[in-house]
Amino acid sequence: MGNSGEAQVVLRLNAITKTFGALTANDAVSLSLHKGEVIALLGENGAGKTTLMNILFGQYTADSGTVEVFGRELPPGNPRAALDAGVGMVHQHFTLADNMTVLENVILGTQSLWKPGLNRAVARDKINELAADFRLSVDPDARVGALTVGERQRVEILKALYRDARILILDEPTAVLTPQETDDLFETLRKAVALGLSVVFISHKLHEVMAISDRVLILRHGKMVAERNILDVDKHSLAALMVGAEVSAPKVEPGTPGSPLLSLRNVTTPDQGNAPGLKSLSLTLRAGTITGLAGVSGNGQAALADLIGGLTRPANGTLELDSADVGHWSPREAVHSGIARIPEDRHKTGTIADFNLTENAILETYHQPPMSRRGWMNWGEAQRATQHIIDTYDVRCPGPGTRIRLLSGGNMQKLILGRVLEAEPRIVLANQPVRGLDIGAVNYVHSELLSARKRGAAVLLISEDLDEIMALSDVIYVISEGRLSPGFARDSMTPAELGVWMAGHGFEAEQAHAS
Amino acid sequence: MRLEPIANPTLARTTLPPAIAIVATVFIASILAMVAGANPFAVLGLIIKGAAGSKFALLETLNRATPLIFTGLSVAVAFRAKLWNIGAEAQLYAGALITVVLGTGMLPWASPALLPVIALCAMLAGAVVLMAPALLKVRFGVDEVVTTLLFNFIFLLFISLLLEGPLKDPMGMGWPKSQRLIAEARLPRIIDGLRLHWGFALALIAAVAVWVIQQRTTLGYEMRAVGLNKEAADFAGIPVNRVLIKTALLSGGLAALAGFSEVAGLKGNLTLDLSPGFGYTGIIVAMLALLNPLAVIASALFIAGIFVGADSMSRAIGVPTYLADIMLATALLLMVLAILLTRFRLVRE
C-alpha cells in the first residue's frame, strides 16, 4: 500500500504475548491496520492466528501487550468493549440461533432490556439498507435454520455491520463456502473497504489471500515472521514463508483406471438430524483410481463414509464388493474386506487420546493373531508392529509407549495411516485426511494416497477443499443434499463449474435427463 | 480461573496431591475429635491401635476388608468401562442368597466341589442381577445409575420377604434370618486358630485376576477402550455393546462374591444386616484406588482399618463411630479433588 503512511491507523496490536502452559501461542506479535485496508493473517494451523484474534476481541487476556482501536486502548478481557469500539468478528463456527429469523438474530443483544417491544420496522429498514450497501442479499424474515451456510455467513456479517463495526475480523471465512459464495464474500469485502471499513482476513488458503488482501502478515509458531505487500509476493513465496522452508507438493501422474471394486447402487440412508442421508446414490470405486468427492460440508459426506466404513447400513439399495452384496457389514468386516478407513475426526473417532501409540495402532487388529491368541494379548508383537509403523511412516514421538494425546495432528494422522495402510488395503476411504495439518504433513498424506493408488488400490477422497480434490483425483464427483453429480474426468471442469454443482444446481436437470 | 490439562505430569504431580489428601483427612478428623471433647492424638492413636495394634485387631481388619475388596473390584471393573454400576449392594445380596439356598442342604455333598460350585452359582446370580440394567442401557439407553441404584432397594425388600417367608429359620425364635449353612458349605479358616477365612485369600486372587484380565487379555483391552472413548472403539470395530455386557457380568459376579464370602466365611447365615453398605463403600474403595485392581486391596484395607479402628476407639473413649464415616467421606471428596489436580493445573485467567 503506497498510501499506508497517510491512512489512519484504526487498529494496533502492540507486542501481544500469550502462553498456554508451556506453549507460547503468541510471542510479542505486533500489527497495525489502516482505514480501508484488507490485511491477511496467514499461517498454518496452530500458528496462533485465532488466539491473536481472540485476544483482540477480548475473549482471551494477553499476558502482555496492548490492543488499540482508533487510538484508544481496549481494556483486556472485555468483548463488550471491543464491540463498542467498532470491532466485529465473524467466527469460523457461526453463533446464530437457528430457530429465530434473520432479523431477530441480527438485533439480538442490541435492544435495551427495559424498552418494551422491539422496533422491528426501524431494524428492518437498517438491515435492508446495509444489505444493499454491502451486497449481502438475505431475506430478513427467513428462519436461520433454513438458510444455506453461505447465507448464514452473510447474517453474521450483517450482525457485525448492524452494530456499526468499522473493523471486520473474519476467521477462516471460506472454509465452508463454494467458490461462487467465496467470490460473493470477496465482493462484499471490497464494498466494505470502499466504504472505509477495514478487514482482517484469516486464512491458510494462499490464492484467496492473494485475491483479497492488500498486505499479508505471516505467523509461524506464534511469531510474526514476515510482513509483505501483496504485490511483492506470489503463492510459492508465501507458502515458503508460512512453512519456513521450500515445499513441494507430490507429483501426480495420470493413472489407468482398473476394474470396479466397490459399487453403490441407488443407496438411500436416513437423514441424521440436520445432516442429510444419501438419496438414491450410485457410485463405483475402481482399482488404481482416486475418486474425489467434493461438496460443502454436511451434505451427506458423513453418511457415505459411515456406509462404506461399515458403521451404517443402506435403508435401500445395495453395496457390493467384488459383485457380492455387503450391505450388512460391520466396521470389522469392512476392515477384513480390505478397506482402509481414515476417519474425518482423528481426535474423536480415529484415536483414543489416553491410549498409547501401541494401543492405538492395534485398534482394528487386536482381536486376531499375531496381536492376540485365544483372548490373550501379545503386547510384544503389538509393540514391534507399532515401532515398525513409527519407523516406516516417520511418526515423530518419544516411543510406542507415549500417550497419543501428546502427538501433533500430523503425527497422529501418520500413525492412523500406518495402522490402515500397513495391511495393503484394496480400498482406501480418506475422509478429510489433511484437515488441520501443516503443509509438510499434507504432502505426506497425499503422497501416501498416491502410492496406494499406484499399488492398485481404489481411493475415495472426501474433502471440502476443492484444490485438494482437483489436484489428486482421477475422477471427481460432487455431493449435495445427499445426491451425487455425474463423474467428471480430471481437468474437465473448472472450480467455478464444480462450484455450481456444490451449490446444489444441476441435479434436477440430471434427474430429468436420466428418467 | 480454569483448569488446564498437564501434558507430562511429574512424579511429584502424581503423588503429592493424594498424599496431601490423606494428611488433610486426618487433620479434619482431629478437629472433629477435639469438638467431641477428646485429645485428637489419643483418638488417632486408638484408631490405629484398634485397626492394627494387635493380632486380633489386624485379623479383624483383614476380615472387614474382604467384602470391600470384592465390591471395590466390582466397581473398579465397571467404572473402567464407564458402566456406572451403583448396584453392588444388590449383587452382593444376590450372591449371599444363592449361597444360603444352595448351602443349607439343597446340595448335601460332602465333596470339595461343593464350595466352588456355590461360589460359581453366586457369581452367576450377581451377574444376572446386573444384566437387566446393562441390557436396558445398551438396548434403550436407560441410565444405569438410576436403575442399578434403585434396584438395590427392591432387592433388599425381596430378601426381607424371603427371610420373613420361605427362607425363615423355623428354629430362629422368630427373627428374620435364614438357617445356618451346613459345615461342608463353610469357608474354612486359612490357619487353624486364627479368625481369618479363605474368603480373604480369594479376594486377593480375584484382585490379581482382574488385573491380569485388564492388562493381558483382549477383553481387558476392549473394556479400557470402550471406557476411554466409546466412539473411537465403535469406529475401530470393537463390539461396544457386547463388551459392556461382559463387563456387567464380571462386575456383578465380583460383587456377588462379597456376599458369598461373608455368608460362607463369616456369618454362616443370611440376615438383613449382612452388609452395612459394603456395596456403596465399594465405590469409595474403587475411587481411592483410582480404579486400579491391585490398589483396591490397599484401599480396602485402609477403609476397613478406619472402621475397625473407630469402633475400638469409640469403645475406649466414647467419641462416636460416626467419625469413621466422616473420615471416609472427607477422604473421598479430597481424593477426587486430588486426582483432578494430578491431571490438571489451575490457571488464573
pLDDT tens figures, A168-205 = 999 888 877 888 888 889 999 999 999 999 999 988 78
Read off the C-alpha cell for A317.
439399495
Closest CA to A436 of A465, A406, A400: A465
pLDDT of residue A197: 93
Read off the C-alpha cell for A189.
469485502
- Work out the minimum CA distance from A126 to partner chain B, whole angstroms: 38
Which residues in chain A are contacts of B347 at CB distance < 8 A?
A: 21
- A330 and chain B: CB distance < 8 Å anywhere? yes
Cβ count near A248 (within 10 Å): 9
Q: A349–B231: do the CB atoms touch at under 8 Å? A: yes
pLDDT of residue B120: 96
B147 neighbors B135 (Cβ within 8 angstroms)? no
Give per-residue pLDDT as tens, A381-403. 999 999 999 999 989 888 899 88
A464 neighbors A433 (Cβ within 8 angstroms)? no
The list of chain B residues with pLDDT below 50 reads: none
- A61 and chain B: CB distance < 8 Å anywhere? yes
Phi/psi at A423 (5° precision): -80, 10
Strand pairing report for A38-42 and A198-203: parallel
Distance (Å, whole) CA B77 – CA A180: 55
Expressed in angstroms, the distance from the first to the final Cα of chain A is 56
CA B49 to chain centre: 24
Residue whose C-alpha cell is 460432487: A478
- Work out the minimum CA distance from A477 to partner chain B, whole angstroms: 25
pLDDT at residue A112 is higher than 70: no
Sequential DSSP letters for A5-60: TTSPEEEEEEEEEEEETTEEEEEEEEEEEETT-EEEEE--TTSSHHHHHHHHTTSS
Question: What DSSP element (H or E) covers A477?
Answer: strand A475-480
**Distances in Å between the alpha carbon of A149 and those of A250, B20, B30, B88?**
32, 52, 63, 50
pLDDT of residue A96: 87
- Work out the minimum CA distance from A493 to partner chain B, whole angstroms: 35
Distance (Å, whole) CA B29 – CA B321: 12
What are residue A434's DSSP bridge partners?
none
Option in A349, A366, A377 nearest B232 (CB): A349
Option in B220, B229, B237 nearest A331 (CB): B237
Closest CA to A309 of A280, A340, A278, A283: A340
Read off the C-alpha cell for A293.
468427492
Phi/psi at A224 (5° precision): -80, 105
Distance (Å, whole) CA A43 – CA A206: 10
Band of pLDDT at residue A513, cut at 50, 70 and 90: low
Residue whose C-alpha cell is 491477511: A40
Option in A309, A335, A377 nearest B218 (CB): A377
Phi/psi at B132 (5° precision): -60, -55
Which residues in chain B are contacts of A415 at CB distance < 8 A?
A: none
Expressed in angstroms, the distance from the first to the final Cα of chain B is 5
Band of pLDDT at residue A113, cut at 50, 70 and 90: low
- Work out the minimum CA distance from B21 to partner chain A, whole angstroms: 25
Mean pLDDT of all residues in A444-464: 93
Which residues in chain B are contacts of A22 at CB distance < 8 A?
A: 7
**Distances in Å between the alpha carbon of B83 and those of A191, A443, B139, B240, B289?**
57, 42, 14, 11, 17
Give per-residue pLDDT as tens, A40-88. 998 877 788 888 888 888 888 888 999 999 988 988 888 888 888 999 9
> Tell me, what DSSP letter sits at residue A257?
-
| Weakest-pLDDT range from A108-122, A221-235, A332-346, B40-54 | A108-122
What are residue A461's DSSP bridge partners?
A292, A430
Distance (Å, whole) CA A200 – CA B126: 64
Give per-residue pLDDT as tens, B171-199. 878 788 898 988 888 998 888 878 889 99
pLDDT of residue B348: 63
- Work out the minimum CA distance from A1 to partner chain B, whole angstroms: 38
Strand pairing report for A38-42 and A215-220: parallel
Phi/psi at A87 (5° precision): -100, 125
Read off the C-alpha cell for A50.
485465532
CA A19 to chain centre: 25
**Distances in Å between the alpha carbon of A47 and those of A21, A379, A436, A451, A472?**
16, 37, 11, 30, 26
Distance (Å, whole) CA A117 – CA A369: 71
- On the CB side of B298, how many CA atoms lie within 13 Å of its CA? 9
Per the document, the length of chain B is 349
Read off the C-alpha cell for A132.
444493499
Question: Residues 6 or more apart from B83 whose CB is under 8 A from it?
Answer: B134, B137, B144, B244, B247, B248, B251
| Weakest-pLDDT range from A63-67, A212-216, A407-411, B9-13 | B9-13
What are residue A228's DSSP bridge partners?
A216
CA angle, B76 then A403 then B211, to 5°: 30
Greatest CA span in chain A, whole angstroms? Answer: 78
Strand pairing report for B2-5 and B344-347: antiparallel
What type of residue is B168?
Answer: K
* Contact residues, A window 379-398, toward B, CB-based 8 Å cutoff: 379
Which residues in chain A are contacts of B220 at CB distance < 8 A?
A: 377
* Phi-psi map region of A280: left, alpha, beta (phi>0 left; psi -120 to 50 alpha): left
Cβ count near B349 (within 10 Å): 7
Per the document, the length of chain A is 515
Q: B231–A348: do the CB atoms touch at under 8 Å? A: yes
Closest CA to A4 of A26, A29, A35: A35
Mean pLDDT of all residues in A17-38: 87
Give this complex's ipTM. Answer: 0.86
What are residue A292's DSSP bridge partners?
A461, A476
Closest CA to A214 of A232, A188, A196: A232
Question: Residues 6 or more apart from A374 whose CB is under 8 A from it?
Answer: none
Option in B219, B225, B229 nearest A375 (CB): B219
pLDDT of residue A119: 74
All structural domains of chain A: 9-243 (3.40.50.300), 248-338+425-515 (3.40.50.300), 347-424 (no CATH)
Strand pairing report for A372-373 and A324-325: unpaired
> Mutate which of A19, A59, A363, A367 to disrupt the B interface (most B C-beta within 10 Å)?
A363
Distance (Å, whole) CA B151 – CA B162: 16
Q: Closest chain A residue to B346 measured between Cα atoms?
A: A21
pLDDT at residue A511 is higher than 60: no
Q: Closest chain B residue to A366 measured between Cα atoms?
A: B218
Distance (Å, whole) CA B74 – CA B97: 18
Residue whose C-alpha cell is 441404584: B149
Q: Closest chain A residue to B218 measured between Cα atoms?
A: A375
Sequential DSSP letters for A258-308: --EEEEEEEEE---BTTB----SEEEEEETTEEEEEE--SSSSHHHHHHHH
A10 neighbors A69 (Cβ within 8 angstroms)? yes
- A377 and chain B: CB distance < 8 Å anywhere? yes
Band of pLDDT at residue A333, cut at 50, 70 and 90: very high
pLDDT of residue A115: 64
**Distances in Å between the alpha carbon of B249 and those of A455, B148, B283?**
46, 14, 17
Strand pairing report for A458-462 and A483-484: unpaired
pLDDT at residue A413 is higher than 90: yes
- A375 and chain B: CB distance < 8 Å anywhere? yes
Q: Is the peptide bond preceding residue A370 cis, with omega within 30 degrees of 0?
A: yes
Mean pLDDT of all residues in A461-473: 90
Read off the C-alpha cell for A278.
444419501
Read off the C-alpha cell for A215.
498486505
**Distances in Å between the alpha carbon of B94 and those of A441, B79, B171, B328?**
57, 20, 24, 26
- Work out the minimum CA distance from A343 to partner chain B, whole angstroms: 9
